Structure 1
Amino acid sequence: MASTNGLRVRRRRQTRRDVHAAALWLAREHGFDKITANMISAEAEVSPRTFFNYFPNKEAAVLPGPTELPEGLAAEFIARGAAHPREVLADLTQLLVRDLADNAPQRQETHAVFALTRSHPALPAAMPTRFDCFQRSIAEAVAQRPSNGPTVRCRPCSPPSP
Structure 2
Amino acid sequence: MTTGLRERKKAATRQSLHDAAVRLAAEHGVESLTVEAIADAATVSRRTFSNYFASKEQALLHHDRARTVRLVELIRARPARESLMAAVIGAAERHATQFADDPEQEERYRTLRLHPALLPELVATYAAAERDLAVAVEERLPAGPDTPLRAQVLAATLLAAFRVVGQTALERREHDVVDLLRQALAITHEGFR
Tell whether the structures are fold-level matches, with TM greater than 0.5.
Answer: yes
What value does the CA root-mean-square deviation take over the aligned residues?
Answer: 3.4
User: Identity over the aligned pairs, expressed in percent?
Assistant: 28
Question: Any stretches of 5+ residues in structure 2 without a counterpart?
Answer: 154-193
Report Cα offsets for 1:9-28 as digits up to 9, x if no partner. Answer: 43333222211110011112
Pairing 1:53–2:56 present: no
Q: For residues 9 and 97 of structure 1, what CA distance do their matches in structure 2 show?
A: 25
Q: For residues 35 and 131 of structure 2, what CA distance do their matches in structure 1 show?
A: 26
Q: How many residues align?
A: 149
Report Cα offsets for 1:98-152 as digits up to 9, x if no partner. Answer: 123212333212221233356x420234322211122222223344x36457663
1 or 2 for the larger relative contact order (CA 8 Å, sep ≥6)? Answer: 1
Q: For residues 114 and 51 of structure 1, what CA distance do their matches in structure 2 show?
A: 23
Report Cα offsets for 1:53-101 as digits up to 9, x if no partner. Answer: 3322112212332255239x738825844x47xx134224422431232
Q: For residues 39 and 126 of structure 1, what CA distance do their matches in structure 2 show?
A: 20
Q: For residues 110 and 78 of structure 2, what CA distance do their matches in structure 1 show?
A: 37
Q: Residue 50 of structure 1: SS of its match in structure 2?
A: helix
More helix by share: 2
Q: Match for residue 44 of structure 1?
A: 42
Pairing 1:123–2:89 present: no
Q: Match for residue 70 of structure 2?
A: 70
Correspondences of 1:9-158 after superposition (within 5 Å): 9-63=7-61, 64-67=63-66, 68-70=68-70, 74=73, 77=76, 80-81=79-80, 83=81, 87-117=83-113, 120-143=115-138, 145=139, 147-148=141-142, 152-154=147-149
Q: For residues 57 and 79 of structure 1, what CA distance do their matches in structure 2 show?
A: 34
The one-letter code sitting in structure 2 at the alignment partner of 1:108 is: E
Question: Any stretches of 5+ residues in structure 1 without a counterpart?
Answer: 158-162
TM-score normalized by the length of structure 2: 0.59
